[in-house]
Amino acid sequence: MKAVVVALYPYNSFGLDYWLDHGAGMTYTATREAGVDVDFLDMKALRNDDELQSGLRGYDLVCFGLKSSYYPIGMRVIKAAKTNGARIMVGGYHATAAPEELIENQDIDWIMKGESEITFPKFLKDPDSFPRFIVGEKPPDLDALPFMDRYMFKKPTEDCGGWWYGSNYKNMVSVMAARGCPFRCAFCQPIENNHFGKKLRRRSVNSLIGELKMLKEKYHPDCVMIHDDTFFVQPKWIEEFIEKYPTVGLPFWAAARADGICKNEDLFRRTVKIGWDLVSVGFESGSQKILDLMLKDTTVEENYESAQIIKSTGAKVYANYILGLPWETQEDVNATTRMVKTINAEMPSWSFFTPYPGCELGDYCIKNGLSLLDRNHYDRCPFGNKVKGVDYDFINRVLKEQRGG
């Protein structure tokens, strides 16, 4: 059976949509390392449906991981693959979050929930011995997994020009140091736990440093993105990282929580000194009521304090804000805009709350008829109406003012 792993992207992708798909990349790499033959198709190298049709021609099995916001792209791949007579396997976050939407699609032959590196190579050896719905085995030791191959992507590095504030950086490499998240934010959980398990699994510092040294020597990147949900946890691991990262010597982006920075200020300052240049923090809201509804487990005061700490180190703030929860009032929004003005982040990033399936707040909105979205329109970008009862005219005016419009 001739099989291909497809990395889903919009055609001619650029910006954030260009960044490497670690799920597809690791699935492909682990399968090849296991001695099982499989090919790879990077959709961002394609220009149109005809090229997709041609790229899938000759394959008996077409496989891809699906995130909710790429649902229409996944359906386009299925249509093209079926035209060529192929069978289909779909995995990824959407298979964990909303498996019923895939199970009802009779064009999909197999659905895999969870991680793929161990189970997928076994599946390819004898697909018909597997049930239609498969639960992927979790790798107990992330160090035992191979470093992700990058040669099969259109470009092995990622473009960060215009995204990394105040720099001339253009080429970035992204790595994953951990899987899972120990926190309970309701716009994210429990899908994270359902996909990766409740326990945070982390690579050893030596494994991460070894990969980064290899990537630096091979691709000569300007900077690094550590693409974990939250990087600044487990102080003992961070201590070892501080000791060993100077051998890599590249500026890096990573995420932290406001409370973690406040509670571990000295550790944070020492991490900045060895290269943490752009600090991503989910401030989310300036309203404590909204933070509590999100189950964020942080305070508005910690938001302000952590931003002050970051600024005092000379690092830059990549600030994440969410507007548009159905319980949010104009005063809640105004509290956020006051916080945004005070923090004055170098890189403010806005999103609208989006009721994704599989997360607590999303499932609540879907169950109670508040969601204005369907499987073809999941997108957290700050435009369009997502939820009933939200004054989008008001928050759009606020956003325009924030952007100087």
pLDDT in tens, 80-105: 999 999 999 999 999 999 999 999 99
Predicted confidence band at 18 (pLDDT cuts at 50, 70, 90)? confident
Claim to verify: residue 282 and residue 376 sit in the same structural domain:
yes
Determine, yes or no, domain membership for 239.
Answer: yes
311-334 core/surface letters (b: 16 or more CB in 10 A; e: else): bebebbbbbbbbbbbbebeeebbe
* pLDDT exceeds cutoff 60 at 291: yes
Query: Quick one: pLDDT at residue 405?
Result: 55
pLDDT in tens, 158-209: 998 888 888 889 999 999 999 999 999 999 999 999 899 888 999 999 999 9
Query: Quick one: pLDDT at residue 1?
Result: 86
Determine, yes or no, domain membership for 146.
Answer: no
Q: What is the CATH number of the domain that holds 396?
A: 3.20.20.70
Query: Quick one: pLDDT at residue 62?
Result: 98
Closest C-alpha to 202, from 233, 173, 224, 223: 233
Claim to verify: residue 27 and residue 111 sit in the same structural domain:
yes
Sheet with strand 87-91: strands edge to edge = 39-42, 3-7, 61-65, 87-91, 110-113, 133-135
Determine, yes or no, domain membership for 191.
Answer: yes
The residues facing 366 across adjacent strands are none
Predicted confidence band at 12 (pLDDT cuts at 50, 70, 90)? confident
Query: Quick one: pLDDT at residue 251?
Result: 97
pLDDT in tens, 198-251: 889 999 999 999 999 999 999 999 999 999 999 999 999 999 999 999 999 999
Claim to verify: residue 99 and residue 197 sit in the same structural domain:
no
Claim to verify: residue 165 and residue 78 sit in the same structural domain:
no
Q: What is the CATH number of the domain that holds 15?
A: 3.40.50.280
Claim to verify: residue 270 and residue 373 sit in the same structural domain:
yes
Final residue before a domain boundary, out of 135, 170, 189 = 135
Claim to verify: residue 163 and residue 312 sit in the same structural domain:
yes
Within 10 A of 296 (CB to CB), how many other CB atoms are there? 25
CA dist., res. 199 & res. 194, Å (int): 11
* pLDDT exceeds cutoff 70 at 135: yes
Q: What residue numbers bound the domain in which 67 lies?
A: 3-135
Return the amino acid letter for 269.
R
Query: Quick one: pLDDT at residue 129?
Result: 97
pLDDT in tens, 33-73: 999 999 999 999 999 999 999 999 999 999 999 999 999 99
Number of domains in the chain: 2
pLDDT in tens, 372-403: 998 888 887 888 999 999 999 999 999 988 87
Query: Quick one: pLDDT at residue 225?
Result: 97
- Find where tokens 């994270």 sit: 192
Percent of the chain topping pLDDT 90: 89
Claim to verify: residue 226 and residue 335 sit in the same structural domain:
yes
Determine, yes or no, domain membership for 13.
Answer: yes
**Phi, psi angle pair for 279, to nearest 5°:** -105, 115
Percent of the chain topping pLDDT 70: 99
Tokens of 314: 């000379």
Claim to verify: residue 127 and residue 167 sit in the same structural domain:
no
Query: Quick one: pLDDT at residue 14?
Result: 73
Determine, yes or no, domain membership for 22.
Answer: yes
Determine, yes or no, domain membership for 142.
Answer: no
CA dist., res. 91 & res. 134, Å (int): 9
Query: Quick one: pLDDT at residue 161?
Result: 82
CA dist., res. 349 & res. 316, Å (int): 13
Query: What's the mean per-residue pLDDT of the chain?
Result: 95
For the chain, give the longest Cα–Cα distance.
60
Determine, yes or no, domain membership for 147.
Answer: no
Sheet with strand 171-175: strands edge to edge = 158-159, 171-175, 223-226, 252-256, 276-284, 316-323, 347-352
The residues facing 135 across adjacent strands are 113
CA dist., res. 196 & res. 326, Å (int): 29
Claim to verify: residue 176 and residue 128 sit in the same structural domain:
no
> What DSSP letter does each residue of 13-77 carry, written as one string?
--GGGGS--HHHHHHHHHHHHTT---EEEEGGG--SHHHHHHHHTT-SEEEEE--GGGHHHHHHH
pTM of the model: 0.94
Claim to verify: residue 124 and residue 167 sit in the same structural domain:
no
Return the amino acid letter for 67.
K
Confirm if 144 and 207 have CB atoms less than 8 A apart: no
